[in-house]
Every structure is written in C-alpha cells, then in structure tokens.
C-alpha cells in the first residue's frame, strides 16, 4: 500500500457490550443462588456483584478516549475528554465477527481498549481498519 489515507473516528462505548456484561453479572448472581452454596455465601456473592457493577458500568459508559486517528505514516493519536491529543502505539488488534478490538498504548497512562462494534461504528470504518491492519502486518 503506497499511500494509505488517514483514518479518524469518534469513539463511544458499545451499548450492546455493556448490556451483555450486565446480563452476565445477573447470570453470575443467579448461579450463586442455584448452586449448593449456603444462603449466606450466595447473599455475599450477590452483594459483591451489586457493589462492583455500578463503578464498572460508569467506567464503561464514560471512556477516557473520545476519538482516535491513524495517520498515513502509521502513527496513532488519541483525543481525551479534555480535547488533548496524545500519541499512541498499537499493541494488538483482533477481529471478532463484525467487531474490531483495538488495544492502544498512549505515551502516558494505561493501555486503552477500543471495541468497534456494529452499534457504535459504521461497517465502512471497520472494513477500512481491517484492510489497513492486514496490510500493516
């Protein structure tokens, strides 16, 4: 690929993935009650899940990254909630059905996971990213 155009996109968390995680939490609580655990252990498990779900849900719904861009020269840039641009490197990428999972490491801070699913990105963006990721390998 002689000249790959830059790819930029706004990022919002996937609503479907958040619902799936909430459903798995409900299934975990139900499994505790249906297992051979004593009632007080099942109650403790349910309470632990009820305490852990809201902060996790808030962190998922308010990601630190608002947009990302992949420049023609291969460099990634992440824009945070304060509109500050940070250079990043691509650690890994995975295609999971119609979804694309990107793991980026900003120059400062922890690694960032971006899930691009059908409900938070368009098919053309995911297709272009897959093509360019395949060509970069």
* pLDDT of amino acid 59: 78
- The pLDDT tens digits for 21-31 are 889 999 999 99
What is the reported pTM? 0.77
- The pLDDT tens digits for 83-131 are 889 999 999 999 988 999 999 999 988 899 999 999 989 999 999 999 9
Name the phi and psi angles at 30, rounded to 5.
Answer: -65, -40
Token reading at 15 = 């609503």
- The pLDDT tens digits for 65-90 are 899 999 988 899 999 888 889 999 99
Taking a C-beta distance cutoff of 8 angstroms, is the pair 67, 11 a contact?
yes
The alpha carbon of residue 85 and the mean position of all alpha carbons in its chain are separated, in whole angstroms, by 19
């Amino acid at each position: 690929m002689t000249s790959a155009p830059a790819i930029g996109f706004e990022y919002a968390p996937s609503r479907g993935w958040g619902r799936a995680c909430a459903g798995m939490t409900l299934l975990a609580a139900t499994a505790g009650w249906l297992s051979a655990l004593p009632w007080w252990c099942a109650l403790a498990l349910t309470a632990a899940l009820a305490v852990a779900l809201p902060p996790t849900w808030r962190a998922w719904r308010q990601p630190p990254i608002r947009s990302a861009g992949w420049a023609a020269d291969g460099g990634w840039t992440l824009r945070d909630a304060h509109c500050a641009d940070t250079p990043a490197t691509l650690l890994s990428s995975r295609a999971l059905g119609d979804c694309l999972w990107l793991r980026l490491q900003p120059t400062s801070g922890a690694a960032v996971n971006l899930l691009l699913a059908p409900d938070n990105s368009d098919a053309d963006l995911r297709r272009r990213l897959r093509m360019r990721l395949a060509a970069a390998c």
